[in-house]
């Protein structure tokens, strides 16, 4: 995990403290003398700053054979401290955390706006690849109450124009949701490139939608209004296979035909 100067400054660290943390990240552990030489900070200042950083739980003193050296704390501990602080700052209130290395990226955000933003990302997906969507029982109710009506209408219009094909596994209770829609709202849904499969509510009663596309998984958690992005080839493959497993035991349903009949009934 890389630490940008701005992130470390948010922890209230001075330039010299940041230099010490970054140097300790590059080397497993160092004596005070070596740390002073490498950072070009006087030894007395390094000793003083290390004690300060130690009190804050950012560095620790370890015994190496017959002497002591200093090392930074585990990355996960430092990341937790950073998240705890920024979650209390208004301008970072939507960010929960991030994990990134060569093979995986995990990002977590919290807010209604971030859920809407995540849904919008579907429109930017490559239409050459299917989108697999597991829709929980609470999804339709949340979207009806929290998503601006104009956003939903515009989203449907753009989705139909995009050529993106979505395969959706959703709860059987989704059908009564369409009964409550106006003719205009039904028209916006009608004709979306969806392949729909219905399952009993208890199998998707987990308060979150799961979207799989290529190497990306997006989890929309409606219970705490958070979004989780997981970019990893293995995880995406596992989720896609689980989707296909559920699909094979689900009932395929012509949702477009269902909405056409509702529209006729409303005339």
Instruction: Indicate the helix (H) or strand (E) that contains 110.
Output: strand 105-110
Q: Is residue 85 part of a domain?
A: no
Same-domain status, 156 and 106: yes
How far is residue 70 from each of residues 100, 158, 173, measured CA to CA in Å?
A: 26, 56, 59
List, as own/partner pairs, every contact residues 234-237 make where C-beta atoms lie below 8 angstroms and the sequence separation is at least 24, other chains included. 235/104, 236/212
Q: Which residues of the chain have pLDDT under 50?
A: 1-2, 89-93
pLDDT tens figures, 84-96: 655 554 444 455 6
**Residue that is last in its domain, among 78, 106, 132:** 78
Q: Is residue 36 part of a domain?
A: yes
**Residue that is last in its domain, among 25, 45, 78:** 78
Same-domain status, 53 and 120: no
Same-domain status, 67 and 112: no
| The pLDDT value given to residue 2 | 46
The range of the structural domain enclosing residue 237 comes to 94-265
Query: Is the distance from CB of 214 to CB of 186 less than 8 angstroms?
Result: no
Same-domain status, 110 and 218: yes
| Averaged pLDDT score across all residues of the chain | 85
Same-domain status, 58 and 105: no
Sign of CA dihedral 26, 27, 33, 37: negative
Q: Is residue 52 part of a domain?
A: yes
| The pLDDT value given to residue 84 | 64
| The pLDDT value given to residue 176 | 83
Alpha helices in the chain (DSSP H): 5-10, 15-26, 32-39, 43-55, 75-86, 112-121, 139-146, 149-162, 174-179, 183-189, 233-248, 255-265
Same-domain status, 109 and 158: yes
């Amino acid at each position: 995990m890389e630490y940008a100067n701005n992130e470390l400054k948010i922890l209230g660290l001075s330039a010299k403290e940041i230099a010490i943390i970054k140097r300790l990240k590059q080397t497993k552990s160092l004596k005070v003398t070596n740390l002073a030489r490498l950072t070009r900070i006087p030894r007395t200042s390094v000793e003083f700053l290390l004690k300060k950083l130690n009190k804050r739980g950012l560095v620790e003193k370890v015994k190496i054979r017959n002497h002591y050296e200093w090392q930074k704390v585990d990355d996960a501990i430092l990341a937790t401290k950073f998240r705890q602080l920024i979650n209390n700052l208004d301008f970072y209130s939507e960010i929960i955390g991030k994990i990134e290395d060569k093979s995986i990226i995990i990002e977590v955000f919290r807010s209604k706006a971030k859920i809407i933003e995540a849904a919008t990302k579907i429109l930017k997906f490559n239409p050459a690849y299917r989108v697999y969507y597991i829709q929980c029982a609470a999804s339709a109710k949340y979207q009806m109450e929290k998503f601006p009506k104009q956003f939903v209408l515009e989203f449907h219009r753009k989705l139909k124009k995009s050529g993106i094909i979505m395969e959706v596994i959703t709860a059987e209770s989704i059908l009564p949701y369409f009964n409550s829609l106006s003719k205009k709202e039904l028209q916006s849904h009608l004709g979306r490139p969806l392949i729909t499969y219905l399952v009993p509510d208890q199998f998707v009663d987990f308060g979150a939608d799961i979207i799989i596309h290529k190497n990306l998984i997006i989890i929309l958690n409606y219970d705490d209004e958070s979004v989780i992005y997981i970019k990893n080839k293995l995880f995406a493959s596992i989720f896609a296979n689980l989707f296909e497993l559920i699909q094979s035991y689900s009932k395929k349903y012509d949702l477009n035909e269902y909405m056409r009949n509702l529209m006729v009934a409303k005339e």
